[in-house]
């Protein structure tokens, strides 16, 4: 029986808030009712969310679950307008919306840039950038009455600078790229603004690619263009632009939230910070526990069953847009124990989180994100061991939208 999600017996749909907010209270309530829930997406589009750890792990690797937009029933029926805030997630050409051989082809074109060896070669550069940013953070605090926005001056420019350097993007474009990508991933962007931001971002990336085609360099964008030009069918122009868009957004937004959330967690749990400062735990442990406890991505769009699929006892009809509930799965007590809502960097289950994905679409940039975050945190708290929030956690303004999970600014006092 092809039951619509809203008619799922005994469970009313959860209305996703386009403005975002802290997800954890709602996640706990939803998880208490089951691992899968019907949801209402912006524009009154019916969908589902998979919240439980085990259910999500199995769903992400299920052979009858696809990423291609042709499987999105509401889209193919013309019910998704151009200005729909989640449309880019569904339709951008590239590996995040490809399946099977197409996905493997696109992934192979960029995977060599993110091997463990290539990432390790970036370590000295990441450390050098981090040192410079710490000087900038200290200067921002000096001119700001002892307070600086860690997100703006530290957590953002590190991953954005590194991914742009990998792609060969001129630093002059970085602020604009971040502004546009933030509009693209936010779920509360007005339709006209969303259309304009997408158009401007595509035009900017096409211009960057055009410059690289005329003057290639030793960078990933030039390599992708060469792959396109060598075979013609290896990488189309829309796929090139879509891949660049994915690399820039995923290459900095996730790590930006990860570093921000880790600093918040450590400032709020000084006993955990003491463990790592005293050498009784590693910075890598902080990274993994932050990924689990306060995932930088809360609900990621989309996957679609290619047939009616029962997940943990709940029917998800074919063609339904499904959100991957990473922030909920990270605090699932069935996977992480009865204290799953407690931040504990000594937790033995921390590394089994799903916050960087699972299955064929597992995050290609995971090694880079982990390295950047560990270096950033160690350098920050080594230089400023008494660093603390300048305002109570309760006064921090949350991220716009239900995809990303963090705060808009993080005022801190970086006391030496």
- In eight-state DSSP terms, residue 265 is H
What backbone torsions phi and psi does residue 366 show, to the nearest 5 degrees?
Answer: -55, -45
Cα 416 from Cα 414, distance rounded (Å):
6
Q: What is the pLDDT of residue 251?
A: 85
Selection from 373, 205, 237, 384 nearest residue 296 by Cα: 373
Sheet holding 322-325, edge to edge: 14-15, 36-41, 45-50, 322-325, 299-305, 65-66
Q: What is the pLDDT of residue 228?
A: 66
Q: What is the pLDDT of residue 186?
A: 82
Helix (H) or strand (E) holding 304: strand 299-305
CA angle 180, 85, 237 (to 5 degrees): 60
Selection from 151, 206, 199 nearest residue 173 by Cα: 206
409 contacts 396 by C-beta, under 8 angstroms? yes
Q: What is the pLDDT of residue 114?
A: 84
Distances in Å between the alpha carbon of 42 and those of 179, 184, 299, 337, 405? 22, 14, 13, 33, 18
260 contacts 156 by C-beta, under 8 angstroms? no
Q: What is the pLDDT of residue 332?
A: 97
Low-confidence ranges of the chain (pLDDT < 50): 1-8, 232
Q: What is the pLDDT of residue 304?
A: 98
Cβ neighbours of residue 398 closer than 8 Å, sequence gap 6 or more: 20, 21, 22, 406, 407, 408
Pairing between β-strand 322-325 and β-strand 45-50 as defined by DSSP bridges: parallel
If one counts every other C-beta atom within 10 angstroms of the C-beta of residue 409, the result is: 14
Cα 323 from Cα 314, distance rounded (Å):
15
Cα 83 from Cα 91, distance rounded (Å):
12
Q: What is the pLDDT of residue 250?
A: 86
Cα 260 from Cα 408, distance rounded (Å):
10
Chain mean position to CA 49: 17
Distances in Å between the alpha carbon of 126 and those of 160, 284, 373? 11, 16, 10
Q: Which two tokens stand for residue 222?
A: 């030039």
Cα 227 from Cα 283, distance rounded (Å):
38
Cα 33 from Cα 20, distance rounded (Å):
21
Write out pLDDT tens, residues 321-354: 999 999 999 999 999 999 999 999 999 877 799 9
CA angle 66, 68, 70 (to 5 degrees): 115
Torsion region of 283: left, alpha or beta (phi above 0 gives left; psi -120 to 50 gives alpha): alpha
**pTM score of the predicted model:** 0.93
Q: What is the pLDDT of residue 182?
A: 87
Q: What is the pLDDT of residue 416?
A: 74
Cα 369 from Cα 251, distance rounded (Å):
8
Sheet holding 388-389, edge to edge: 148-149, 411-413, 388-389
- How many Cα atoms occupy the beta-carbon half-sphere of 244 within 13 Å? 30
Q: What is the pLDDT of residue 112?
A: 79
Selection from 292, 272, 294 nearest residue 283 by Cα: 272
CA angle 208, 213, 219 (to 5 degrees): 75
* Cis amide leading into 302 (omega within 30): yes
């Amino acid at each position: 029986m092809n039951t619509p999600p809203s008619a799922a017996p005994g469970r009313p749909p959860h209305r996703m808030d386009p403005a975002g907010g802290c997800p954890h209270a709602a996640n706990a309530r939803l998880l208490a009712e089951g691992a899968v829930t019907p949801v209402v997406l912006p524009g009154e589009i019916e969908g589902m969310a998979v919240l439980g750890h085990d259910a999500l792990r199995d769903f992400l690797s299920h052979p009858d679950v696809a990423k291609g937009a042709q499987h999105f029933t509401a889209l193919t029926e013309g019910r998704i307008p151009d200005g729909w805030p989640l449309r880019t997630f569904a339709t951008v050409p590239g590996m995040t919306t490809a399946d099977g051989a197409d996905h493997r082809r696109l992934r192979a074109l960029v995977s060599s840039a993110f091997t463990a060896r290539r990432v390790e070669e970036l370590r000295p550069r990441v450390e050098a950038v981090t040192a410079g940013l710490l000087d900038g953070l200290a200067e921002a605090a000096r001119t700001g009455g002892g307070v600086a926005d860690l997100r703006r001056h530290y957590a953002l420019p590190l991953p954005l600078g590194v991914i742009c350097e990998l792609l060969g993007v001129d630093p002059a474009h970085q602020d604009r790229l971040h502004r546009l990508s933030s509009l693209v991933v936010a779920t509360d962007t007005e339709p006209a603004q969303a259309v304009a931001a997408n158009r401007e971002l595509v035009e900017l990336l096409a211009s960057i690619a055009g410059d690289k085609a005329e003057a290639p360099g030793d960078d990933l964008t030039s390599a992708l263009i060469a792959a396109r030009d060598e075979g013609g069918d290896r990488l189309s122009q829309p796929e090139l632009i879509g891949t660049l868009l994915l690399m820039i957004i995923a290459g900095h937004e996730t790590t930006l939230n990860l570093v921000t959330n880790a600093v918040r967690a450590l400032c709020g749990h000084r006993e955990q910070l003491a463990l790592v400062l005293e050498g009784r735990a590693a910075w890598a442990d902080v990274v993994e526990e932050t990924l689990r406890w306060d995932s930088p991505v809360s609900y990621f769009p989309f996957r679609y069953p290619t047939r009616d699929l029962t997940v943990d006892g709940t029917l998800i009809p074919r063609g339904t847009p499904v959100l991957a509930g990473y922030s909920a799965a990270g605090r699932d007590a069935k996977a992480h124990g009865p204290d799953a809502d407690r931040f504990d960097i000594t937790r033995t289950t921390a590394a089994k989180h799903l916050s960087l994905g699972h299955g064929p679409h597992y995050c290609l940039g995971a090694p880079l994100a982990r390295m950047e975050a560990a270096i950033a945190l160690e350098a920050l708290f080594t230089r400023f061991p008494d660093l603390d929030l300048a305002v109570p956690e309760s006064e921090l303004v949350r991220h716009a939208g239900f995809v990303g999970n963090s705060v808009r600014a993080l005022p801190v006092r970086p006391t030496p």
